[in-house]
Amino acid sequence: MKFLKQKRPYSIKKFLYRYFLLLFLCTSAVLIFYCVVFMKSYSDQMSSNAAARIDYYSSSLETEMKKCTSFEQKLCYSDSSFQLLTIKNLKDTDKVILHYNVTEMLKRQVAPYECIFIFDQDRRVSTYAAGESFSADEKQYIYQLKDHLREYWLDENQTSYNKWIVFQDAHNSVLMKALKVRDVYVCTTIDLENFDLLTYNESEDNPVQFGFFNNTEILTNQISVTEAGMDLTNLAYPKNPFFSNYYIMTTPIEETDISMFCLVYSDYMGDFAKVSILVFVLAAFVTCIIIVYTFYSFHKILLYPLDQINAATKHLEQNDPASFLSDSHSNIIEYQNINNALSNLIEQKITLTNEKQAEAFEKDHARLQYYQMQTRSHFFINCLKSLYNMLESKEYEKMQRMIIAFSNHLRYIFHDNLKLVTLQSELAEVNDYYNIILLDRVSPFILNTQVDETLLPYRVPSLIIQTFLENTAKYNRESGSLLIFDIKIERAELNGKPVMQIMLSDNGTGYDQETLDRLNSSENDLFARKHVGISNLKRRIALIYKTDYQFAFYNKPAGGACGLLYLPLIEAPQL
C-alpha cells in the first residue's frame, strides 16, 4: 500500500530566513576558504623562498667540498712534486723547489673561504695556502690553527682520515678533511664563519642569516639565533608560526654530521599578510552588510503583501478599515493597490458581519421572548386563581394590593429582555413579586437583602433575581415551616477583573443531584422539566454576555439551594 506523506505547514518567513542563512553560510565559507588559501599561499611562499636559498647554499657548499676532495686526491696521488716531497732524505735544494711548487699549486686552488695545510710529524714539511677570509685574520691565528690541526691529526688514535669533520678552537670553526701520504698530511679546511656564499645575493629588504649546527651545539652565527629567540632545540625541530617575524629551515650537509640553517626575516611578509587579512576582514564585513541589506530589501518586497494580509485579518477582528489604511500607506503603487483592495475587503466583511449580527440579534430576541413567556404561563394562571379566590372571599383590600403588585410585575416582564436593567429596578421587581407571594402564600416567607448600594446603578439581565425567588416559592409551596430567601450582592474580583457577585440562597429542600449536574453544565438543556426558569435564565445570560460570566449551583450544608453568579460590571448610561 502506498502512503502519501502529508506536507506540514511552514512559514514563508522561516523559508526566507533559511535561504538567507544558507547564502550567508556559503558566502562566509567562501571567504574563510579564501583566507585559508591566502594564509597557505603565504606560508608556502615563505617555505619556497627559504628552501630555494638553503638548497642553493647547501648545494654550493657540497660542491666546494667535492672540489676540495678531488683536489686532495689529485695532489696526493697524482702530483709528482708532492710525491717527491713525501720522500725523506731529500737534498735541501730539491726540497725547496718541490716545496715551492706545491705551495704555488695550493695558492692557485685555494678558495677565499678555504685554507689548505701540509705538514708532517718532524716539521720537515710545512706549508699552507689561506684564502681571503683566513688572511683577514692575524697570521698568528692561522699558525695557531695549523698547530692545533697538527696536534689533532698526529694523535696515534686518530682514524678519521678522508672524512669531513668539524673542528673548533678559540678563533675558528672549520669543516676539515685530511689525507695522509707516508708521513705527510694534507688537511683542507672550510671556514664556516666566513663562508662567502652566505652573503651572496642578500639584500637589506630581505635579510637572510645562515649558520651551521650539529647535535650538541650551534657552530656559527649563534648571535642571530639568540636574537630571534631560538635555541638548538628550535633548529633541530623547526616550527614556523604564521605571524612569526622569522622563518627557519634546516637541511643536513652530505658526508658530514652537521646541518645548515636558514633564518629568513619575514617582517615585511608578516606586515603584508596582516594588511591583507585586515582588507579581507573589511571586505567580508562589507559583503555581509550587503547580503543583510539585500535580504532585508527582498524580505520587505516579497513579504509585504503577506504582512498586509495578516494585518488586514487583525483589523477584520476590530472592524476598523480606516485605521488599516492609515497604518498601511505605501508610496509604491502596486503595494497601495493591495492596501486598497484589502481595505475594500474589510469593509465588505464588516457589512456582511453587521447584517449577520442583526439577523442573529432578531433571532436571539425572539428566542428570549419565547423563553421568558414559557416560564410565565403557570404564574399568570396561579395569580388569576388567587384573585378569583379573593373575590369569592370578598377580600377586596387584599385583592387591590394583589392587582397593583401583579400589574407592576406585568409591566416589568413585558419590556425588551435583551436590554439590561439597573440592579435597583431588578430589586424593585423582586419586592413586587415578593408581595404577590405573600398575598398568595399561607405559610410564612421572609426575604433578606444585603446589597452594596454602590452597585445599584449597574445593569443586570432582567428577572435574574426574581427567577430564583419564584423558584424557591414554587418548589417549597407545600412546606409549612418558615421559608427564608437570602439575597447578597457585593463587589468581587475574578481573573483580575472587577465583577458583581450575586449569591441567592434559601433554606428549602434544595436541588436534587440530577438538577445540580444539569444546572452546573455549560450546555443548555432545551428539554428541562424542572427549574425551567433557571435554565432559561442561563440561556439568556449566555446570549447577552457570551462567555464573560460564571455561575455555580450547589446545596448548602445546612440545607437549601444556593446559586452563585459572577457578572461583569456594566454601568447604566448617563442621561
Q: What is the pLDDT of residue 91?
A: 83
Check if the beta carbon of residue 211 is closer than 8 Å to that of residue 220: yes
| Tens digit of each residue's pLDDT (9 = 90 or more) over 192-251 | 887 755 554 444 455 778 888 988 888 888 888 888 888 888 888 888 776 677 778 889
Whether 117 is in a domain gets the answer yes
Residues paired with 502 in a beta bridge:
489, 565
Range 119-132 average pLDDT: 85
> In whole angstroms, what is the distance from residue 462 CA to residue 330 CA?
51
Q: What is the pLDDT of residue 78?
A: 87
Q: What is the pLDDT of residue 84?
A: 86
CATH code, domain carrying 554: 3.30.565.10
| Tens digit of each residue's pLDDT (9 = 90 or more) over 393-449 | 777 777 777 787 777 776 776 665 557 889 998 898 888 888 877 877 778 889 999
Percentage of the chain lying above the pLDDT 90 cut: 9
Residues 379 and 353 in one domain: no
Cβ neighbors of 48 (< 8 A, separation 6 or more) are none
Q: How many domains does the chain have?
A: 3
Check if the beta carbon of residue 418 is closer than 8 Å to that of residue 371: no
The single-letter code of the amino acid at 443 is S
Whether 121 is in a domain gets the answer yes
Whether 260 is in a domain gets the answer no
Q: How confident is the model at residue 1 (pLDDT cuts 50, 70, 90)?
A: very low
**Domain termination site, one of 175, 196, 217:** 196
Q: How confident is the model at residue 326 (pLDDT cuts 50, 70, 90)?
A: low
Q: Which domain holds residue 106?
A: 79-196
Residues 323 and 383 in one domain: no
> In whole angstroms, what is the distance from residue 190 CA to residue 133 CA?
10
Residues 520 and 394 in one domain: yes
Whether 535 is in a domain gets the answer yes
| Tens digit of each residue's pLDDT (9 = 90 or more) over 490-547 | 999 988 889 999 999 999 888 888 888 888 887 655 545 566 778 778 888 887 888 8
Residues 405 and 553 in one domain: yes
The single-letter code of the amino acid at 388 is Y
**Candidate ranges 133-147, 338-352, 441-455; pick with highest mean pLDDT:** 441-455
Cβ neighbors of 570 (< 8 A, separation 6 or more) are 420, 458, 459
- Asked whether residue 374 carries a pLDDT value surpassing 80, the answer given is no
| Tens digit of each residue's pLDDT (9 = 90 or more) over 257-285 | 889 888 887 665 556 666 767 777 777 77
**Domain termination site, one of 164, 196, 228:** 196
| Tens digit of each residue's pLDDT (9 = 90 or more) over 2-45 | 444 555 665 666 766 777 778 778 877 887 887 777 777 777 77
Q: Which three cell numbers stand for residue 493?
A: 474580583
Q: What is the dihedral of CA 73, 76, 80, 86, to 10 degrees?
A: 180
Q: How confident is the model at residue 568 (pLDDT cuts 50, 70, 90)?
A: very high
CA atoms within 13 A on the CB side of 376: 15
Which is higher by pLDDT, 85 or 567? 567
Q: What is the pLDDT of residue 365?
A: 66
Whether 521 is in a domain gets the answer yes
CATH code, domain carrying 104: 3.30.450
Residues 185 and 328 in one domain: no
**Domain termination site, one of 148, 164, 196:** 196
